Amino acid sequence: MSDVPIPSPARPGAPTAKVLAVTSGKGGVGKTFVSANLAAALARRGHRVLVLDADLGLANLDVVLNLHPKTTLHDVFTGKASLQSAIITAPGGFSVLLAGSGMVEYSRLTPEVRTEFLQVLQSIIPRYDVVLLDTGAGISDVVLFAVSLASEVLLVATPEPTSLTDAYAAIKVLATQQKRQQIRMIINQTVRAGDGRAITGQLQQVLDRFVVPELGRPVRLSHLGDIPGDPAVRDAVMRRQLLLSSLPGSPAALAVSQLANKIEEAIIRRP
């Protein structure tokens, strides 16, 4: 871990970062694992990537990456530290902006949190190609606000019925309140190939039947990819290492690399 300067601002008129929110209905489905490893895979492809720990009340990106930041978003928000000093380099070659756990005062969406968050994001965007927002789970106002700042939503769900019910609730809110026309699905901890595509299709059917008629416009769930359930993930988390570095040939690591390819093709390279 080391303090590094923020990359220089992009040339005037040059494209700024694509902001992708990694979110979920239910907690513990793999958002932080996906954010960290996806960031490493995209950094490996030459993109300037920053992961912002947007789970302000219960951040744990630092735990997954084994980082011990001297300054966090909390210090930036309270004016105790500069944004630059809070951005650190993670082992996977990408930048992170950590929230620090227990920021209880930030678990509610106050006007201050809104303003600070927005300012931080605006300063970061011109300096990166991709910004991943690792959000909390659910449909609280803090989570929805973080998601509202992203141009793309990556919704992580597992095949369990509880996760799917919560994913559907989150999709419904994002489609109605945020007028999202497209939500990209990542189905994690799958058992069989094809599970994720089938699940996405089923959620789309329910959405088309119950939500789309009320909205009067289509909402598209696109299946971005699956990540199989893989004991290597837990091993990497226990060792506090990136799966992509510690076990790059494991099925879950290969699936994350494929996801990165798809994101590059479908999102990053698109104007």
Ligand X SMILES: Nc1ncnc2c1ncn2[C@@H]1O[C@H](COP(=O)(O)OP(=O)(O)OP(=O)(O)O)[C@@H](O)[C@H]1O
For residue 124, give the amino acid letter.
I
Smallest gap from residue 99 Cβ to Mg ion (A): 11
Cα(175)–Cα(190) distance, rounded to whole angstroms?
A: 25
Query: Does 32 help bind ligand X (rule: CB under 6 A)?
Result: yes
Stretch of 30-38, 39-47, 92-100, 171-179 lying at the interface with ligand X (CB under 6 A): 30-38
Stretch of 43-51, 78-86, 212-220, 230-238 lying at the interface with ligand X (CB under 6 A): 230-238
The correct pick among 229, 246, 248, 267 for binding ligand X (CB under 6 A) is 229
CB 235 within 8 A of CB 200: no
User: Do β-strands 87-89 and 95-97 pair in parallel, antiparallel, or remain unpaired?
Assistant: antiparallel
Indicate which of Mg ion, ligand X, none lies near residue 204 (CB less than 5 to 8 Å, by partner kind).
none
Smallest gap from residue 98 Cβ to Mg ion (A): 12
The correct pick among 15, 28, 102, 201 for binding ligand X (CB under 6 A) is 28
Cα(193)–Cα(240) distance, rounded to whole angstroms?
A: 28
E strands along the chain, which residues?
Answer: 18-24, 49-54, 87-89, 95-97, 130-137, 152-157, 182-190, 220-228
Question: Which residues of this chain interact with ligand X, rule CB under 6 A?
Answer: 24, 27-33, 55, 137, 188-189, 227, 229-230, 233-234, 237, 252
